[in-house]
A and B are shown apart, each in its own frame.
Chain A
């Protein structure tokens, strides 16, 4: 059998090699190929053929006088392309704007996504760092394990280091407000207060903290967290306290910190600000030695001490297989459900959703959704481009025909059309970069993070976006160029030629656009409905006209008396209806949790119940409904042993009715209480989470928050008097207040942002889809002008013509809506599972967007259709 050399390579040779040399080279290569086939076999021959074919491609053998190459070199095509675009300005403008809008959206979303993915990647040896999470193994009343904590117990760190050979080092830290829900920082010079405000954003952190994590020390001690009462400040927090003092003057200064009791701390170091992409965020660090005691170190049940370990590089590959059972056995014995698990530091932000996360993570699902939107939008923009190009090229059938007759090869035409694409793409890329730079600051402000400036810093971002854009531009430039240039010379004769290859593809692309537009649109509707539902739902607690003031911190012997005085003085104002002290108010974190049991009665399943300290006016101030029993009262001396539970706790304790629970005795941790009341399941936290089971205990003056219920319209007066009274009774306490409705809704910040993003891009998707449709309709009508005229001559009325012309677009929208509804339904059902209280997607969510999209579409196609149907048929037929 006779073998032939690889044809593909031969083709390439013919493509590249100058005709003068081609015959010789080809012949020689063939001859050697045949020799090798007999001496070494076919594969060896093919391989050498390939190698040597490449080696013959030297500068002098290359084609030199090829016309295409010549004209490319001389930019003739660019000139021609520019002229062509100038001639059709509207077309070019629509194309360029559409592409630029798509590109900007794409780059923005990608930039944001890459930012979210970059969380915690800045630590040295970050891949060896793991968080040790804690699992109590207890279930809540919905049957889920809700006791998986991001924090751990103080005893765990040292034991890990001791027991597990792979653990190189560990660090423990705990938020300052874990001990008392109150921390203030005061800076005083010669008895003059220069700074005094609450500062919750700090940790008690041990000296290993700055070794394990890469938060660089700017100034001061290399080991600033060794001594008790040492504090390290971030640059911006220091600026807040000290103004623009020189760093050297700041080190060694003394600050007073009130965290239940007032003490003096020495500034030992100045740290660089925490990068925006860190899930561990703080303004200052206090040495762990300040709170350390033998008793605390032995504590194995207080799971709010964040513990991170660094594994040796060998062990870090596989920490999930480490057996922690012996270690847990040593700490807790056999009778427990407790377990611990390791979370890779860099995966926490996207994948961890435990209790007491240090900062709100974002779900990988949200990012996926955004990525899909990003690619869908850019794809839509490109689809528009291709469609417009194909439609536009029909008008140029004559041009193409004449060019071919005058001797253009197909390569000529491809290069020419490519050049036009290149011009359009370049201009729109330049435009989009400009737009991106312009809106970058406002996007940063809106997201509240410092995004790295695109193109310059983040290489990953640059690569992903750059490659996607390059690939997209190449395909969208090449595809229509190839199709259009294939048009036969007959194009010259016929008046209008349909590009058969293009039509099916074009229709498919339009459907794609409308499905995307519909999916994003209806998703935006459902997301919006969910957000409104959560914000307007009956929470079982009244938030309007309630102002929350930070309670004073220091709990000395005079404290209770002063609190009483403060309440009495405030209540004396006619515009203040009631005043209540509580350890946490709705929307704020609940700190203490524990296991409840009944003193007598059935045994209770594992559980995790939060405790809230409130005074006698709490239920009245917040309008929380009592289902049985009485609110707290200051008239009973035994009130501190009384407890009010909510419905969730009621079912955990296996009481069937609220009345049954009254006067029963229960235990929370080791404390024993008598149930004096049962309150409704009010939503202490936002509706994304289930209602926590609560025990509310009595304390006439708990540290935390003071709530003022104010008569509508008297906010300013109430705030002023609350401030005045606080200053007289607690001169050291800073006055800080919030409207509770506002602070409660802050919980929705993430979802609000998500809603705006989806809405914004829904609008863009619709605009892009309609712009494309407009261009398509204009063209469609144009090449049917004669048909319309003939129909009119035969008696069709204008209305009929319009109906007939627009029916096609209505069909596109309807079919896309059906397809899109299915996609949205499944996607959104998935998404809504993130919410404990969720709306159900219904027909209304789809009919609304359908009608809206239909209207927008009709408006977009109306102009060309109506214009065409009004034309005088006689003129059309006479003049063509």
Chain B
């Protein structure tokens, strides 16, 4: 069984899917991630992350409408699942908890 561990890139993609809500598919996710992180990301990497997240049941997908710009091909639209949302929450909670434990001295040096 693949673990529920969430990598950094996966976390960002998962968040992007969440943000895009009903319009999350390869191209839009890539644009969203690029916009927020400022990194250049290949579509292949986005696909890989999306499919891995789907395998972990954090995402579910369906086919959307076809369009001319897509050469008549349908979009594969992703939506975040309850489990996915829970994992994101857990990740956030973990971070806040650990943040709160940082001593003041450390925060000052930065």
Contacts and interface: CB of A to CB of B under 8 A. Distances in A.
Given A24-B26, A60-B48, A30 B43 contact: no
Contacts of A5: 71
A27 B44 contact: no
A28 B26 contact: yes
Interface stretch (A51-59, A266-274, A869-877): A51-59
Interface stretch (B7-15, B73-81, B85-93, B96-104): B73-81
B82 interface: no
A623 interface: no
A26 B43 contact: no
Contacts of A23: 63, 73-74, 76
A24 B45 contact: no
A30 B71 CA distance: 6
Contacts of B76: 23-24, 27
B62 to A, nearest CB: 11
Interface residues of B, number: 20
Interface string B7-31: 0000000000000000001110000
A351 to B, nearest CB: 54
Interface string B59-74: 0000100110111011
Given A24-B26, A34-B69, A56 B44 contact: yes
Nearest to B70: A27
A36 to B, nearest CB: 11
A634 interface: no
Interface string A50-90: 01100111101100000000000000000000000000000
B37 interface: no
Contacts of A31: 27, 67, 69-70
Nearest to B46: A28
A58 B42 CA distance: 12
A58 B47 CA distance: 10
A29 interface: yes
Interface residues of A, number: 23
A241 interface: no
A21 B74 CA distance: 11
Nearest to B43: A52
Nearest to A22: B73
Secondary structure type dominating chain A contacts: helix
A525 B43 CA distance: 69
Contacts of B43: 25, 28-29, 32, 52, 55-56
Nearest to A55: B44
Contacts of A51: 42
Contacts of B45: 55
B51 interface: yes
A25 B69 contact: no
A34 B26 CA distance: 15
Contacts of B48: 58, 60
Interface in A630-648: none
A21 B46 CA distance: 13
B47 A25 contact: yes
Contacts of B75: 24, 27-28
Interface in B43-57: 43-45, 47-48, 51
Contacts of B70: 26-28, 30-31
B73 A27 contact: yes
Interface centre among A27, A32, A61 (most CB of B within 10 A): A27
Contact of B69 (A21, A30, A52): A30
Best-buried of B26, B43, B48, B74 by chain A (most CB within 10 Å): B43
B78 to A, nearest CB: 10
Contacts of B44: 52, 55-58
Contacts of B66: 27
Contacts of B51: 21, 60
A12 to B, nearest CB: 15
A32 B76 CA distance: 15
A56 B47 contact: yes
A170 B75 CA distance: 78
A801 to B, nearest CB: 63
Nearest to A61: B47
Contacts of A35: 27
Contacts of A30: 69-71, 73
A26 B25 CA distance: 13
B42 A52 contact: yes
Nearest to B50: A24
Interface string A6-31: 00000000000000010111111111
A72 to B, nearest CB: 26
Contacts of B67: 31
Contact of B71 (A26, A56, A61): A26
B77 to A, nearest CB: 10
A56 B27 CA distance: 13
A61 B51 CA distance: 10
Contacts of B25: 24, 28
Contacts of B27: 28, 31-32, 35
- Most chain B beta-carbon neighbours within 10 Å: one of A4, A28, A52: A28
A52 to B, nearest CB: 5
Contacts of A4: 71
A30 B75 CA distance: 11
Contacts of A57: 44
Nearest to B66: A27
A197 to B, nearest CB: 78
A301 B93 CA distance: 100
Nearest to B29: A28
A335 B67 CA distance: 92
Contact of B47 (A24, A32, A34): A24
Given A28-B25, A28-B26, A28-B47, 5 more contacts: A23-B74, A24-B76, A28-B27, A31-B27, A31-B70
20 contacts: A4-B71, A21-B47, A21-B51, A24-B26, A24-B73, A25-B26, A26-B70, A26-B71, A27-B71, A27-B73, A27-B75, A28-B70, A34-B69, A51-B42, A55-B42, A56-B43, A56-B44, A56-B47, A58-B48, A60-B48
Q: Which 6 A-B pairs have the closest CB atoms?
A: A27-B73, A55-B44, A28-B26, A27-B70, A30-B71, A24-B76
